[in-house]
Structure 1
């Protein structure tokens, strides 16, 4: 009895420490994203460029909104807070939708780089502001397909009384049978296969242009090639995230403490990390955006520091 009690206390302490660490990471990444978003809206030139519009869209929808929603669900799940199933379904629709928006937006940003480098004369026409807004709407439409499939299968398998029950909200509650998991996995991996083909096709085409380019064009092409490579790595992390629920379900049957560690690792490595790479790829590696961000930080410090000094002196 004492052994079981000490194991439970150890598990609770571990959960508390992990939740606190995750909150610090989420707050830090959310603050960086907000700074990048403010920088985007303060420069009119960014709002007319397809690459920056897609970047800002991903920062708003995925790196900020989805980050906060999933963090709230993580905290509620850790502390076993229950909610009615109908409310959980509404929240899960957002999670399902924007979880797919991330890789599709990556594919769209990769295609934009492909057009800019391999078809520079048609870039202004194909990647106009209006077409980019239409692209964002198409991204939402395509991203809703896996969500519709998963929820349709769930609605067809449960009775109406389930929607008024109280449960801990998690993605696993929609997996009632083994074939539910198979359908979800098949749909998700089909989408990721298409997106991998898009990214590798763009990489191959840009690489051919890079070999033929020279001087300043070669430098720009090499930069675009590295960006596409980082997109591919980011997409790989998103793909691994698909397998995380299956790994966690298997570990849960073996050891609850190990399950907490695995879920904690998966959330940081395969959910937070891919979304933070977006800030690295465009917020820091892009020279134009980085200079605008640096200028904004200097301006803020120049107005903020004198206020501190005057406060100290008085």
Structure 2
């Protein structure tokens, strides 16, 4: 009877593990189609080259690249050579930081449009937009590039020819690199959170003093900033999920798999659904 019970449990576990990738593939497929449709629309329509649409397009590009690679490298856990693994992890770390920073830039753009309408045209110029995008790319890439170079300087030569289950933890074998990454991301999250909260408060103050014809536009801007704030919290919550998942590995493998799957949908897929389905469409 015990043997029969164990066989049934194993069959159920294997069935559950086989069903999860199918659901992920379905969700990712829908997101890629919607994002691709909006990217095509953005590239085709010259009237969408305003600052807020350019920032939204960057979010689409970053999120599309992220959800294209993340299920393959982060969810299915295929063994790969360590060098391309580290390159992909560096790219994924860049995309992980790029999306929240772009959300902050979108919040600042909405704040300028609502609270400083007379200066909006002079601030949101193509040149300033390009400078803002370049700043986002540089800030997003500094930490992943430093981790990439630092980890390879500590890798033994024998490790360079090994195959590993790809994860960013492969690059964080040295404690001070892991601590520096954690502290930097936490400080960055606090700064971004403070900017979004302050811009939302100032927009709410502007909404109270706005005339009746401007209240509709101001309320719409406030809701947009709130949406970006929710997205930011969900995106940054992804950074703490490994601390929740790894202790469960020693308790029960299926609990670990189920929690990891739920975190993947809630903190990786969901925040990247909000912009396309609520704001983009």
Query: TM class by shorter-chain length?
Result: over 0.9
**3-state SS in 2 of match to 1:242:** coil
**3-state SS in 2 of match to 1:167:** strand
1:50–1:128 CA contact under 8 A, matched in 2: yes
The residue aligned with 2:33 is: 31
| Bigger radius of gyration | 1
Q: Does 1:148 align with 2:148?
A: no
Q: Equivalent of 1:217, from 200, 214, 217?
A: 214
How many residue pairs match? The answer is 279
**Structure 1 residue 162 displacement after superposition:** 1.3
Question: In 1, distance between residues paired with 2:154 and 2:255?
Answer: 31
2:79–2:164 CA contact under 8 A, matched in 1: yes
**Structure 1 residue 28 displacement after superposition:** 0.6
The residue aligned with 2:225 is: 228
Structure 2 CA distance for partners of 1:146 and 1:52, relative to 1, 3 Å? same
Question: In 1, distance between residues paired with 2:161 and 2:76?
Answer: 18
**Structure 1 residue 72 displacement after superposition:** 1.5
Q: Does 1:22 align with 2:19?
A: no
The residue aligned with 2:86 is: 89
**3-state SS in 1 of match to 2:239:** helix
The residue aligned with 2:13 is: 11
Q: Equivalent of 2:134, from 130, 137, 144?
A: 137
Q: Does 1:189 align with 2:190?
A: no
Question: In 2, distance between residues paired with 1:70 and 1:88?
Answer: 12
| TM-score (normalised: structure 2) | 0.93
Q: What are the superposed Cα offsets for residues 106-148 of structure 1, whole Å, 9 maximum, x if unpaired?
A: 0000000011111111111211122212211110100112213
The residue aligned with 2:67 is: 67
**Structure 1 residue 177 displacement after superposition:** 5.4
**Structure 1 residue 44 displacement after superposition:** 1.2
Q: What are the superposed Cα offsets for residues 245-300 of structure 1, whole Å, 9 maximum, x if unpaired?
A: 1111111111111111011101100000111111134213xxxxxxxxxxxxxxxx
The residue aligned with 1:101 is: 98
CA RMSD of aligned residues (A): 1.9
Question: In 1, distance between residues paired with 2:8 and 2:117?
Answer: 65
The residue aligned with 2:203 is: 206
| TM-score (normalised: structure 1) | 0.83
Long gaps (5+) in structure 1: 285-314
2:86–2:168 CA contact under 8 A, matched in 1: no
Question: In 2, distance between residues paired with 1:5 and 1:164?
Answer: 38
The residue aligned with 1:292 is: none
Q: What are the superposed Cα offsets for residues 203-255 of structure 1, whole Å, 9 maximum, x if unpaired?
A: 11111110000212111001101111111111111121111011111111111
